Amino acid sequence: MNMDSYPPLFSSNSNNTLTQNIDLDEPIEHTEDLDPIPVIDLQCLNLEKLDEACKNWGVFRLINHGVPSTLVSQIQDQARKLFSLSFEYKQAILNSPLSYVSGTVFLSSSGKALTTSQGLNWVEVINFPLTQLSQFQAQDSMLDSFRLVVEEYGRHLARLASTIFQVIEKNLNLDPSQSKSHLAESTGFVRVHRYPQIAKGNQAWGARVHTDSSVLSILSQDQIGGLEVFKENKWLPVKPVANTFIVNLGDMMQVISNDEYKSVKHRVRVCKQEDRISINYFVFPDFDSVIESSKYKPFTYKEFRAQGQKDIETLGFIVGLEGFKLDK
């Protein structure tokens, strides 16, 4: 492993500041031999089963999704190669419209890294806004090759998100005329994460407890593991299963569903002596369209995102949906 590829804050000299003690007394249900996450088969979509997963879990495992396994392997392999480049070189080539940050999973609308008062995360992130990739002039052949793979991958994931949302729309009796504003393909982006390996015996948070602000996020994770979801006051490890995706419902889905569906709390624990790679696709409502609900003040996603940035700058954390709830 090329240690020069790691951002300076993950160097051995700074490990003690990031590998903070993790509260191991939290209730964690180990399910190595079981897979408690609901499974949804895209080839024979069961409306009732999907509705139950969205109401009771806010997360599900997607199988028979139609994305070629060779493409998933290719994007994972090329992500590893891209991250293995030196830190300085990555800083030089990963420029606008891409963004490259470490130590956080929160970004401002301009791509600026935002760090909460909880501290840094043991993660390195590259963001690929899908609608802008075709105009991106990559100066590196490896990055250019990866850009093409990400574009192809993004088209597949947009199809999955649209298909899932159409079924959710039926389950919630939503107005089909609002579909394009509720789930705007133009907002889709792919976020590539590397959670660097960590010294034996240490642990750190790759991503601290949060909910996604999106409508949906669709995750492909490698076989290292570390993702955990919160269910019934317990943290459940999400087992890596080849050729499946993990679909999270986000804050915007919770509002669109009028709280019938919940945005799932999740986190990533780092405790392995191997790098973990995950590829996440996010999609949002149209940024300027007003989202209305009987339980929340009307707002646009642009306003929601701006408020989150303001929360971090003034409070040190994101208030999220609680800040938009109507008084009871």
Report percent pLDDT > 70 for the chain: 87
pLDDT score, position 83: 96
How big is the CA angle at 76 (ends 85 and 32), to the nearest 5 degrees?
120
Please, are residues 306 and 300 in contact by the beta-carbon 8 Å criterion?
A: no
Q: Any idea which of 38-42, 105-109, 286-290, 316-320 has the lowest mean pLDDT?
A: 105-109
Dist CA 243 CA 206 (whole Å): 23
Residue among 168, 124, 93 nearest 10 (CA): 124
Helix axes 141-172, 69-83, angle to 10 degrees: 130
Confidence of residue 27 (pLDDT cuts 50, 70, 90): very low
CA distance 142 to 164: 33
Q: What is the pLDDT of residues 229-283, one digit of tens each?
A: 999 999 999 999 999 999 999 999 999 999 999 999 999 999 888 999 999 999 9
pLDDT tens for 194-218 read: 999 888 888 888 998 999 999 999 9
| Phi, psi (rounded to 5 degrees) for 184 | -100, 110
Which residues, at least 6 apart from 82, have a Cβ–Cβ distance to it below 8 Å? Answer: 90, 126, 142, 143, 146, 192
177/161: higher pLDDT: 161
Residue pair 252/215 in contact by the 8 Å Cβ criterion: yes
In the structure, what pLDDT confidence band is assigned to residue 9 with cuts at 50, 70 and 90? Answer: confident
What is residue 118's predicted lDDT score, i.e. its pLDDT? Answer: 62
pLDDT for the residue numbered 13 = 45
What distance lies between CA 141 and its chain's CA centroid? 27
User: Which has more pLDDT, 36 or 52?
Assistant: 52
Which of 6-15, 24-33, 90-99, 107-116 holds the top average pLDDT? Answer: 90-99
CA distances, 121 to each of 14, 40, 72, 108, 275 (Å):
13, 31, 26, 16, 14
Q: What is the rounded distance in angstroms from the CA atom of residue 292 to the CA atom of residue 284?
A: 15
Residue 179 is predicted with a pLDDT of: 78
Percent of the chain whose pLDDT exceeds 90: 70
Q: How far is CA 34 from CA 64, 125, 239, 241, in A?
A: 20, 30, 8, 11
This prediction's pTM: 0.91
Q: Whole-number mean pLDDT of the chain?
A: 88
Under DSSP, the state recorded for 327 is P
Q: pLDDT band at residue 221, thresholds of 50, 70 and 90? A: very high
Residue 325 has pLDDT above 70, yes or no: yes
Asked whether residue 301 carries a pLDDT value surpassing 50, the answer given is yes
Q: Does the domain spanning 3-289 belong to CATH 1.20.1260.10?
A: no
Residue type, 304: F
